[in-house]
């Protein structure tokens, strides 16, 4: 009967999540000119452009026919995306397949979250509360259901953690945690961080065959990393992705770490510092290897986020892409901690009924769930969580898609376009593109970073541009967007470009370009 109740509750939670994820995905879509579009977060759309070009036989390139540049950080995810481009799916709907895949991976992850919590807690309710917190945490859904590789990474991480917990309990060695996370480095190379956390944990707390294990684990990691590096050197002529140079070079280490600490402070403030620190304070008093592993994984991702300076989107609220994959570990720690505190109180006050204690646990967790999904800086955040408003990034996706369609109908296929958001616009416009912010341009990526006015103004991956090069030398046929200090760009526009209007939007078209369909553009007012 107990097993039946567990299965029934899990199936119910999974069913509710499937419905929620389906509604979430639908809310990300929009209609333009009578066609419903499903569009991913813009970085994911950059990967989609590489995936489409790969599927069409052009190679892993952003612009067909150009020297390859590794403007993505998720090679196996790009390959996965390319699979769907082999089928006759309209461009407006291919992203839906990626979103559904993300929903499947996040749903499977919930099963592992439950099993991990069951390995740590003998109580009936905490595993389901950990599933609840994970399933309906907005940032995890934002990244996973809008096309980022976060969905598969969190699944791989929790599968590896579950196997590691079995390993601890049975005092035996299994290669699977390391194979899973090693595979994860092929999806995104910074999965090296949780891999090393597991290696360090096993070395300290699973002493059997310690040195032999260490040599095997590090050797396997070296093999995964070496295979990627050799491929990059062969195909791209560079040992690191272009995105590494864009985000990590040209900015002082101290400034990068200061920014990482600053955005982590914002994350902690939004999450509520009391709730964030509660599980770690509890660890001081109740030391347990299993809970310590989860804490280390969370701390490892936080430390990595600080080191790289955070992500570019913390102003939107919640966990960034690095911390998000460790949030299920935090949620398991959280519910187990609260439950053990309440159980300790019940032992002190023997008259307290277990049902009453469980009701408090459920009520406190539900209140915490609402708190975790409430961002004071964004009054609409809670409404987005409840799907009363479209999720974040969707208005931008819609605008970028409108821009792409306008560019497509007013230019020839040979027209080059200069863009800031380098995902949806080049993907739907299907034109050669110039990436003003350098994710797909090695010259820009290797420049020094522009000096920010404050930590608030630092946006990793958005701090380098050179309009003398991108506009003055590359001479795009159409300038679609601009970013940062625009005076130099305006000087080129005034001399060489004509401001035109297309579908109510203004663009700068090169005055002598034969690739502009001048009969389809209007004179700007």
Is there a single domain that holds both residue 352 and residue 500?
Answer: no
State pTM to two decimals: 0.95
Is there a single domain that holds both residue 239 and residue 118?
Answer: yes
The one-character DSSP state at 449 is P
Which one of 358, 385, 412 terminates a domain?
385
Summarised one tens digit per residue, pLDDT across range 209-235 is: 788 889 999 999 999 999 999 999 999
Torsion over CA of 175, 176, 182 and 187, rounded to 10 degrees?
Answer: 170
- For residue 316, the model assigns a pLDDT of 85
Residue 497: pLDDT band with limits 50, 70, 90: very high
- For residue 226, the model assigns a pLDDT of 97
Residues 6+ apart with CB under 8 A from 521: 410, 500, 501, 502, 507, 509
Is there a single domain that holds both residue 369 and residue 403?
Answer: no
- For residue 3, the model assigns a pLDDT of 61
Q: Which residues pair with 479 in a beta bridge?
A: 418, 508
How much of the chain, in percent, has pLDDT values that exceed 70?
Answer: 98
Give the distance from CA 486 to its chain's centroid.
29
Query: Which one, of 319, 312, 313, 316, lies nearest residue 264 by Cα?
Result: 319
Residues 6+ apart with CB under 8 A from 376: 269, 270
In this prediction, residues 311-339 reach a mean pLDDT of 94
Give the distance from CA 152 to its chain's centroid.
10
Is there a single domain that holds both residue 379 and residue 398?
Answer: no
Question: Is the pLDDT assigned to residue 456 strictly greater than 90?
Answer: no
Residue 1: pLDDT band with limits 50, 70, 90: very low
Is there a single domain that holds both residue 338 and residue 378?
Answer: yes
Query: Which one, of 254, 363, 263, 259, lies nearest residue 315 by Cα?
Result: 263
Is there a single domain that holds both residue 271 and residue 365?
Answer: yes
Query: Which one, of 220, 158, 166, 157, lies nearest residue 193 by Cα?
Result: 157
Instruction: Give the Cα separation of 11 and 20 in Å (integer).
Output: 14
Return the sign of the alpha-carbon dihedral for residues 260, 265, 268, 269.
negative
- For residue 454, the model assigns a pLDDT of 86
Summarised one tens digit per residue, pLDDT across range 264-311 is: 999 999 999 999 999 988 787 777 889 999 999 999 999 999 999 999
- For residue 501, the model assigns a pLDDT of 94
Q: Which of 1-10, 214-223, 407-416, 469-478 has the lowest mean pLDDT?
A: 1-10
Is there a single domain that holds both residue 362 and residue 466?
Answer: no
Summarised one tens digit per residue, pLDDT across range 395-418 is: 999 999 999 999 999 999 999 999
Which one of 351, 385, 419 terminates a domain?
385
- For residue 352, the model assigns a pLDDT of 66
Q: Are 111 and 22 in contact (CB under 8 A)?
A: no
Which one of 385, 408, 426 terminates a domain?
385
Is there a single domain that holds both residue 103 and residue 139?
Answer: yes
From residue 144, how far is each of 16, 152, 320 by CA, in Å?
17, 8, 12
Q: Which of 289-298, 335-344, 499-508 has the lowest mean pLDDT?
A: 335-344
The one-character DSSP state at 54 is H
Which of 41 and 169 is assigned the larger pLDDT?
41
Please count the other Cβ atoms lying within 10 Å of the Cβ belonging to residue 443: 13
Instruction: Give the Cα separation of 184 and 167 in Å (integer).
Output: 20
Summarised one tens digit per residue, pLDDT across range 70-98 is: 999 999 999 999 999 999 999 999 999 99
- For residue 4, the model assigns a pLDDT of 59
Summarised one tens digit per residue, pLDDT across range 167-189 is: 888 777 889 999 999 999 999 99
The one-character DSSP state at 316 is G
Q: Are 404 and 427 in contact (CB under 8 A)?
A: yes
Is there a single domain that holds both residue 290 and residue 354?
Answer: yes
- For residue 170, the model assigns a pLDDT of 78
Residue 257: give the domain boundaries: 2-385
Q: Are 29 and 36 in contact (CB under 8 A)?
A: yes
Is there a single domain that holds both residue 407 and residue 278?
Answer: no
Tokens of 154: 């969190």
Question: Is the pLDDT assigned to residue 423 strictly greater than 60?
Answer: yes
Is there a single domain that holds both residue 367 and residue 421?
Answer: no
- For residue 353, the model assigns a pLDDT of 74
Question: Is the pLDDT assigned to residue 207 strictly greater than 90?
Answer: no
Residue 464: phi and psi, rounded to 5, are -130, 130
Instruction: Give the Cα separation of 162 and 170 in Å (integer).
Output: 12
Whole-number mean pLDDT of the chain?
Answer: 93
Q: How do beta strands 478-479 and 417-419 pair?
A: parallel
- For residue 34, the model assigns a pLDDT of 95
Q: How many domains does the chain have?
A: 2
- For residue 404, the model assigns a pLDDT of 97
Query: Please, what is the Cα angle at 257 between 254 and 263, to 5 degrees?
Result: 140
Question: Is the pLDDT assigned to residue 325 strictly greater than 60?
Answer: yes
Residue 2: pLDDT band with limits 50, 70, 90: low
Instruction: Give the Cα separation of 259 and 241 in Å (integer).
Output: 22
Summarised one tens digit per residue, pLDDT across range 124-169 is: 899 999 999 999 999 999 999 999 999 999 999 999 999 999 888 8
Spell 401-415 as b/e; 16+ CB within 10 A means b.
bbbbbbbbebbeeeb
Is there a single domain that holds both residue 470 and residue 497?
Answer: yes
């Amino acid at each position: 009967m107990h097993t039946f109740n567990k299965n029934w509750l899990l199936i119910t939670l999974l069913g509710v999540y499937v419905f929620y994820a389906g509604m979430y995905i639908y809310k990300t879509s929009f209609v333009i000119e009578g066609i419903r579009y499903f569009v991913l977060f813009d970085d994911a759309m950059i990967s989609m452009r590489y995936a489409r070009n790969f599927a069409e036989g052009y190679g892993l390139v952003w612009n067909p026919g150009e020297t390859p540049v590794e403007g993505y950080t998720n090679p196996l995810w790009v390959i996965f995306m390319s699979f769907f481009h082999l089928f006759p799916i309209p461009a407006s709907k291919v992203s839906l397949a990626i979103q559904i895949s993300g929903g499947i991976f996040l749903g499977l992850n919930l099963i592992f979250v439950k099993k991990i919590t069951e390995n740590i807690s003998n109580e009936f309710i905490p595993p389901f509360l950990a599933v609840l917190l994970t399933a309906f945490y907005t940032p995890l859904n934002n990244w996973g259901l809008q096309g980022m590789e976060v969905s598969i990474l969190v699944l791989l991480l929790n599968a590896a953690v579950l196997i590691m917990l079995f390993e601890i309990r049975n005092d035996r060695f299994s290669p699977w945690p390391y194979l899973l996370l090693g595979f994860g480095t092929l999806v995104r190379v910074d999965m090296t961080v949780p891999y090393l956390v597991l290696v360090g944990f096993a070395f300290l707390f699973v002493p059997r065959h310690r040195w032999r294990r260490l040599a095997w684990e590090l050797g396997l990691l070296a093999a995964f990393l070496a295979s990627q590096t050799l491929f990059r050197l062969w195909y791209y002529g560079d040992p690191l992705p272009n995105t590494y140079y864009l985000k990590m070079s040209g900015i002082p280490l101290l400034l990068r770490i200061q920014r990482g600490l600053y955005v982590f402070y914002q994350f902690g403030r939004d999450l509520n510092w009391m709730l964030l620190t509660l599980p770690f304070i509890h660890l001081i008093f109740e030391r347990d290897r299993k809970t310590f592993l989860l804490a280390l994984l969370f701390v490892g991702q936080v430390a990595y986020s600080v080191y790289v300076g955070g992500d570019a989107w913390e102003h939107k609220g919640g966990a960034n892409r690095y911390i998000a994959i460790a949030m299920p570990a935090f949620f398991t720690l959280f519910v187990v901690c609260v439950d053990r505190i309440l159980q300790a109180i019940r032992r002190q006050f023997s008259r307290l009924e277990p049902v009453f204690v469980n009701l408090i646990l459920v009520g406190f967790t539900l209140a915490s769930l609402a708190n975790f999904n409430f961002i004071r800086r964004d009054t609409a955040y809670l409404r987005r969580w409840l799907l009363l408003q479209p999720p974040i990034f969707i208005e931008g996706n819609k605008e970028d898609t409108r821009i792409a369609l306008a560019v497509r109908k007013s230019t020839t296929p040979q027209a080059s376009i200069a863009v800031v958001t380098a995902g949806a616009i080049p993907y739907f416009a299907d034109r050669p593109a110039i990436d003003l912010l350098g994710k797909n341009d090695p010259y820009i990526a290797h420049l020094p970073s522009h000096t920010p006015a404050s930590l608030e103004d630092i946006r990793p991956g958005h701090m380098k541009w050179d309009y003398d090069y991108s506009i003055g030398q590359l001479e795009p046929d159409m300038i679609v967007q601009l970013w940062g200090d625009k005076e130099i760009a305006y000087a080129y526009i005034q001399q060489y470009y004509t401001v035109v209007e297309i579908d109510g939007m203004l663009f700068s078209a090169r005055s002598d370009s034969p690739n502009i369909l001048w009969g389809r553009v209007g004179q700007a007012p």
